[in-house]
Amino acid sequence: MPLSDAHLDPTRKHDFVFLIEAIDSNPNGDPDNAGMPRTDLVSGQGLITDVAIKRKIRNTVALINTLEPRAGREIYVEAGTALNSQHERAYTDSQVTDQKSAQEWMCRNFFDVRMFGAVMTTGKRTKQAGRVQGPVQIGFSRTIDPITPLDIGITRVTPTKEEDVKAWRERSEADDSDAKGKETEMGSKYVVPYALYRGTGHFSAPLAHRTGVTSDDLALFWRAFEIMLEHDRAAARASLALRGLYVFTHDDAFGRAPSHELFDRITVKARGDVNARTFTDYGTVEIRDTDLPPGITLTTLLPRTNG
């Protein structure tokens, strides 16, 4: 495999850093806090959970597979699909006779089981598929500086309940004055004016060997990671962008250097305030790649360079 494609080799350890920009958006709402952007209450920094990132990757892989269907690209954790029924599908295969062979079937057919792992011990005891530890692990993403979430008041001209419509009509008929203002309903939208999140992740070659990850799987993973925000647009996530994706690749399965030392080579200098409103407010991303440890290569997937 050419050196330029080292990040596609499943027999090597990979550690990666990524940067996500949010402009007037809510990248990860907290359901325990009325949907406000997740925040570290001590430091004031914004957070994006690993679960949120993995969900976007799963959704993107599913979209890709819709137009470019390939065997083994199904998604196990998918909205509207019961997990137990996914396990039971394995047992419809004549080659599946026990939990071990069911687990192998799940790894072979579901992309996210191969990459992220899964706990498949729910449902009927005779139709379970055990536990799989996935080779890809992603940590929480954290903003470079504290954030200032905004609670934006919004109105809706369409009431939720039919009785509200009838009540408004009765008020309008009984009052000759302009009663249209009573027809609207109030709501809130939570956004971050600007934030730059930094996250990290890992790929374990020994675990990938267990689950059967191929170079095509890795290529699909990086592709989905690069475009996941482009196909996850919503009213509260209209301006999210992946500003950087940097992959450190080791020349063996177990690694040549501690991941935290490699991550320290990709840094963004904090401003110390909450006034940033553009990516350029942070200057340039510092990349120390001239003295990498022996056996380590760095591939910059984003931003793309010419040539």
| pLDDT tier for residue 288 given thresholds of 50, 70 and 90 | very high
Q: Is the pTM of this model over 0.95?
A: no
Dihedral pair phi/psi, residue 52, rounded to 5°:
-65, -40
User: Residue 181 above 50 pLDDT?
Assistant: no
What pLDDT, on the 0 to 100 scale, is given for residue 153? Answer: 78
d(CA 186, CA 181): 11
Please name the helix (run of DSSP H) or strand (run of DSSP E) that holds residue 155, with its range, or none.
strand 150-156
Convert the pLDDT of each residue in 145-173 to its tens digit: 999 999 887 777 777 777 766 776 777 66
Is 151 or 253 the better-scoring residue by pLDDT? Answer: 253
Dihedral pair phi/psi, residue 82, rounded to 5°:
-75, 135
User: Residue 261 above 90 pLDDT?
Assistant: yes
- Percent of the chain, pLDDT > 70? 91
- For the segment 193-214, the average pLDDT, to the nearest whole number, is 98
- Decide the pairing of beta strands 29-30 and 130-133: unpaired
Q: Hey, CA dihedral for 220, 22, 134, 139, is it positive or negative? A: positive
Lowest mean pLDDT among 96-100, 138-142, 176-180, 243-247: 176-180
User: Residue 294 above 60 pLDDT?
Assistant: yes
Convert the pLDDT of each residue in 267-285 to its tens digit: 999 999 999 999 999 999 9
Convert the pLDDT of each residue in 74-132 to its tens digit: 999 998 888 999 988 999 988 898 999 999 999 999 999 999 999 999 888 888 999 99
- For the segment 37-55, the average pLDDT, to the nearest whole number, is 97
What SS3 state is found at 211?
Answer: helix
What pLDDT, on the 0 to 100 scale, is given for residue 93? Answer: 87
Mean model confidence pLDDT for the chain:
91
- For the segment 226-252, the average pLDDT, to the nearest whole number, is 95
Of 76, 150, 140, 85, residue with least CA distance to 107: 76
Greatest C-alpha distance within the chain: 83
What pLDDT, on the 0 to 100 scale, is given for residue 179? Answer: 47
d(CA 109, CA 127): 16
